[in-house]
Amino acid sequence: MSPGRPLSGHRRLPRLIVQIPCYNEERTLPDTVRSIPRHMDGVDRVEILIVDDGSSDDTVAVAERLGVDHVVRHTNNKGLARSFRTGLDACLRLGADIIVNTDGDNQYDARDIARLIRPILDRSADIVVGDRQTQDLDHFTPVKRTLQRLGSRVVRALSGTNVPDTVSGFRAISRQAALQINIISPFSYTIEMLIQAGRKNLAVAHVPVRTNPPTRPSRLFKGIPQFIGRSVVTMVRMYAMYKPLVTFVSLGAVLFAVGAIPILRFLYFWLDGDSGGHIQSLILGGVLVILGCVTLLIGLVADLINFNRQLIEMTLEKVRRLEMDRRGRRPAVEPRPRSADDAPVRIAAVGDR
């Protein structure tokens, strides 16, 4: 009987794939892969998928020697967000019921994968984020802790979730949630994914997880100011995409209110018989009021576009489901039995997606 096929009268156990986006991780990848448990309660089997983001070192060769199950390759470096999206699509094609994402630098303790997937197995969550409990991490400076806490608070407000560590990359995703997630950010997937999940009413949970000592500085950003800038842009873009009417109506109302102040000032002096020297107030107020009205109209148009985007996302989700149903939810390539010199299953190289 083939692996993963249910016995008569028994429910099929879920298939778990751990995806690891990698860019020049030949030094840290061995520890990361070896730490991943290959057997877990409640799971049929555990497979490992490497997303090579155009590495210039021996990341792929190392992955092959480690006996990973699947390798997806980008022809050149496309960034973390696209690597995550590529991995998600590959895991769905391979028939994953649960997808766990972790980093190639061995930042997260893989022993906590079982804890991470438990809410999904219990059907109490669609997405589970690992909480690193950054307030207790020694390598986090007080400034970094403060910024992380403030940033997570903003993301919680924008997404409607209660995840304390919103930029943690250690997360588990159910198959149904993965079919609905569409990452478009070029920077990182963490914030965008939570905002999407919150706005799509997916059940998001969090569990405490352990971390390993840092092995290298982050390659995602060159410094804290760059990280803050890119994160703010992502938050504003995602919130405006999912709540355009609220965003533009709020901005338009502010412009209208600010513009009304100099206009009222002009009217005050005009009624007092002293309007000659205050015409600039009328001009400034008029310009701001006009901008406010235009912004309100933009909000109405953006709201109509938002409904069109929702229809497109619904169509994309249905297309994905049809593709999976056509494959019978069986993987594109069944993994062979692993042995000491068994090479991994290879999925064709991926270009721009």
- Same domain for 232 and 285: no
Per-residue pLDDT of 262-280, as tens digits, reads 888 888 888 877 766 678 8
Q: Domain residues for 204?
A: 15-238+324-346
Residue 7 lies in a domain: no
Residue 10 lies in a domain: no
pTM to 2 decimals? 0.76
- Same domain for 224 and 329: yes
Phi, psi of 207 (to 5 degrees): -135, 150
Residue 5 lies in a domain: no
Nearest Cα residue to 13 out of 28, 23, 3, 1: 3
CB of 184 within 8 A of CB of 78? no
Q: What dihedral do alpha carbons 266, 272, 274, 279 form, nearest 10°?
A: 10
- Same domain for 342 and 228: yes
Per-residue pLDDT of 150-178, as tens digits, reads 888 888 888 888 999 988 999 999 999 99
Strand partners, 128: 172, 205
CB of 174 within 8 A of CB of 127? yes
Which two three-digit tokens encode residue 13?
């156990």
DSSP 116: H
Q: How many domains does the chain have?
A: 2
User: Which of 68-82, 134-148, 179-193 is the least confident region?
Assistant: 134-148
- Same domain for 84 and 195: yes
Cα 52 versus chain centre, distance:
18
- Same domain for 261 and 134: no
The rounded distance, in Å, linking the Cα atoms of 198 and 180 is: 12
Residue range 93-119: mean pLDDT, rounded: 93
- Same domain for 250 and 103: no
Residue 78 lies in a domain: yes
The rounded distance, in Å, linking the Cα atoms of 35 and 106 is: 9
Residue 21 lies in a domain: yes
| CATH number of the CATH domain containing 101 | 3.90.550.10
